[in-house]
Chains A and B, each alone.
Chain A
Amino acid sequence: MAVIEIQNLTYTYPATSHPALREVSLTVEAGEFVAIIGPNGAGKSTLCYTLAGFIPHFFKGELQGEVRVAGQDIRRVRLEDWVLKVGLVFQNPFNQISGAKFTVYEEIAFGLENIGVPREEMKRRVEEVMALTGIEDLADRSPYALSGGQQQRVALASILVMQPEVLVLDEPTSQLDPIGTREVFQVIRRLAHQGVTIIMAEHKVEWIAEYADRVIALAEGRVIGTGTPADVLTDPRLPDYGIGISRYTAVARRAAGEGLWPAERRLPVTLDEAEAGFRAVEEAHAHLH
């Protein structure tokens, strides 16, 4: 069942002349983990805002086309209760801090207080999500006195705790080291397996290649590619659009130029695929001698 259906979405921010999204069409199934890639200014955050209802309910502007999420027309939803369906983790974690709470624990509970979760359940959920995101030791700290990476985990936790059906993440690992990034991707994949639909704007293609079910590439507001990570991330046009590619793809592409990559083989996007490909070349050479 399609949870997200977008048809011919064109959106222009107020007081701007060029649309930030142009004729975007896409569908996402329940429990799918979809990554959105694209250069700076491609419209990734704008798409995230639209799914979360901030466009058109907070940023007015001009919205054309159809956007349906969980069966509802995004124009008709009540933004104040939409958080129960779609949770958004912002690109800048600092902006996610409510400012109303004095400790991380209270900060994570803030959303649950607002939607009226009973106290005992609230505590259970807060503690669960803190364990899940590895921030138990921050419970009594001020949300403002954290490092960027810690704030990013708190921002993620404070949305996860609300258990939305659709989770929209705008570059949720930008301030995390590789270990933190892996933890976040693992948590997200587990949620997808539990049936949560995931949309994640993300630059880190090597991680996307390993974890996402599908990739949508945006450039200048348009969808320029959609498909499995293997298909989209090896598209030779990506560098022209300013989209980074996986180190493994880049190395194999140069090798292919020198005739050092099996001709019939698709370029790799993960380390495993790269290894397999180069091993095949090696064996072929060994055969010749």
Chain B
Amino acid sequence: MVERLSFYLERSSPLHRLNPTTKLVVAFTLILVAFLGPGLLLPSLIFLLILTPLSFVGQVGREFLRTTVRLLLPLFAFLFVMQSLFYPGGKTVLFGFWIFSVKLEGVRFAFLTATRVLVMVSSFLLLLFTTHPGVLLLDLTQRGLPASVAYILASTLQIIPQMQAKAATILDAQRSRGLDTSGSLGRRIRALLPLVGPLVFGSLVDVEERAIAIEARGFRSSRPKTSLVEIEDRPLERALRWLCLLAIILALGSRLWP
């Protein structure tokens, strides 16, 4: 069965020790500033001068860069080709070949969009690499997220690999009874339809069993809950979160009153 349930990489770095909510707030702030803030270079500077160094502070630099590149390279290639060639209203032609001409406005637009997406994806990657999902959910629960919502999120994270395993099992079973899953797209979809029943029905049955399971562990007990893990939250972090709010307001201001 699947042992790894999330992106989380266990290290003992200062970034790992930060309060999960602080990391969540910082990630959102960087994304908002990248999208709202002024200038062509701002998002790329955020990536190069904040996110990348932070990833090395968090001792996940190599994984961070590798995963980012792998996730985004195909998208960027596509973006640059499309936008530099077909950007509407592009006037400044940089160079041309055959019937195509690459325009400056298109390249600029592609660059800005690509680096913004880069900040968005990599901020979340860094958050996920350095934050245990259970701890993040626990912290949010302690800040008022209902325990049932946290439970649903946590169990969804766990269930995805299970569902994949189950789908594979059902598929194998159907195949061994002569189901053909190769061939054209339409044929493949039709072949996969018999998978839906067992998967959905099986999951519904699981839900009932799951409900009894957590009931048997006192999930709805009327006593106040406690938690195994203690999550630190230092005053400095609180200050940092206020600073983030300020940064968001400034970025918004720059957008509204340029």
The interface residues of chain B, by DSSP majority, are classed as loop
Task: Establish whether residues B224 and A116, one from each chain, have CB atoms under 8 Å apart when the complex forms.
Answer: yes
Q: How far is the CB of B191 from chain A (nearest CB, A)?
A: 29
Q: How far is the CB of B81 from chain A (nearest CB, A)?
A: 42
Q: How far is the CB of A205 from chain B (nearest CB, A)?
A: 27
Q: How far is the CB of A194 from chain B (nearest CB, A)?
A: 21
Task: Establish whether residues B216 and A88, one from each chain, have CB atoms under 8 Å apart when the complex forms.
Answer: yes
Contact A99/B159 with A106-B228, A119-B226 known, Cβ cut-off 8 Å: yes
Task: Establish whether residues B218 and A114, one from each chain, have CB atoms under 8 Å apart when the complex forms.
Answer: yes
Task: Establish whether residues A101 and B134, one from each chain, have CB atoms under 8 Å apart when the complex forms.
Answer: yes
Give the interface size class of chain B: 35 or more
Q: Give the residues in chain A near B216, CB-CB below 8 Å.
A: 52, 54, 83, 87-88, 90, 96, 159
Q: How far is the CB of B104 from chain A (nearest CB, A)?
A: 50
With the chains together, A101 CA to B137 CA distance in Å? 11
Segment with Cβ contacts to B, from A2-10, A22-30, A74-82:
A74-82
B12 within 8 A of A: no
A98 within 8 A of B: yes
B219 within 8 A of A: yes
Contact A98/B230 with A80-B220, A81-B221 known, Cβ cut-off 8 Å: no
* Proximity string of chain B (35-72) to chain A, C-beta cutoff 8 Å, 1 when within and 0 when not: 00000000000000000000000000000000000000
B94 within 8 A of A: no
Segment with Cβ contacts to A, from B1-9, B192-200, B241-249:
B1-9
Contact A95/B221 with A102-B132, A113-B227, A123-B228 known, Cβ cut-off 8 Å: no
CB within 8 Å of B: which of A84-132?
Answer: 84, 87-88, 90, 92, 95-102, 105-106, 109-119, 122-123, 126
Q: Give the residues in chain B near A105, CB-CB below 8 Å.
A: 228
Contact A115/B227 with A83-B216, A88-B216, A99-B159 known, Cβ cut-off 8 Å: no
Contact A102/B133 with A144-B1, A145-B3 known, Cβ cut-off 8 Å: yes
Q: How far is the CB of A183 from chain B (nearest CB, A)?
A: 22
Q: Give the residues in chain A near B133, CB-CB below 8 Å.
A: 102
With the chains together, A117 CA to B161 CA distance in Å? 32
Task: Establish whether residues B226 and A113, one from each chain, have CB atoms under 8 Å apart when the complex forms.
Answer: yes
Q: Which of B2, B5, B159, B215 has the most CB of A within 10 A?
A: B215
- Give the residue of B151, B215, B224 whose beta carbon is less than 8 angstroms from that of A79: B215
A162 within 8 A of B: yes
Q: How far is the CB of A83 from chain B (nearest CB, A)?
A: 4
Q: How many residues of A contact B (CB 8 A)?
A: 44
With the chains together, A144 CA to B4 CA distance in Å? 10
B204 within 8 A of A: no
Task: Establish whether residues B3 and A97, one from each chain, have CB atoms under 8 Å apart when the complex forms.
Answer: no
Task: Establish whether residues B2 and A90, one from each chain, have CB atoms under 8 Å apart when the complex forms.
Answer: no
With the chains together, A280 CA to B132 CA distance in Å? 67
Q: Which residue in chain B gives the minimum CB-CB distance to A114?
A: B218
Task: Establish whether residues A119 and B230, one from each chain, have CB atoms under 8 Å apart when the complex forms.
Answer: yes
Task: Establish whether residues B226 and A117, one from each chain, have CB atoms under 8 Å apart when the complex forms.
Answer: yes
Contact A100/B154 with A106-B228, A118-B226 known, Cβ cut-off 8 Å: yes
Q: Give the residues in chain A near B2, CB-CB below 8 Å.
A: 142, 144-145
With the chains together, A141 CA to B4 CA distance in Å? 10
Q: Which of B134, B154, B162, B221 has the most CB of A within 10 A?
A: B221
Q: Which residue in chain A gives the minimum CB-CB distance to B165?
A: A144
B217 within 8 A of A: yes
Q: Which of A90, A100, A122 has the most CB of B within 10 A?
A: A100
Contact A114/B224 with A95-B212, A145-B2 known, Cβ cut-off 8 Å: no
Q: Which residue in chain A gives the minimum CB-CB distance to B224?
A: A116
Chain B contacts to A: CB under 8 angstroms: 1-3, 5, 132-134, 150-151, 154-155, 158-159, 161-162, 209-230
Q: A54-B216, A80-B221, A114-B217 are in contact. List 13 more A-B contacts (CB 8 A).
A: A79-B215, A80-B215, A81-B222, A83-B221, A92-B209, A102-B158, A106-B228, A114-B223, A116-B225, A119-B227, A122-B226, A126-B228, A159-B217
Interface CB pairs A-B, < 8 A, 18 = A52-B216, A54-B216, A80-B222, A83-B216, A84-B218, A90-B216, A98-B213, A100-B214, A101-B134, A101-B154, A102-B5, A102-B134, A106-B134, A114-B223, A115-B218, A144-B158, A144-B161, A144-B162
Cβ-closest 9 pairs across A and B: A99-B155, A80-B220, A114-B218, A111-B217, A116-B223, A95-B209, A83-B218, A109-B228, A145-B3
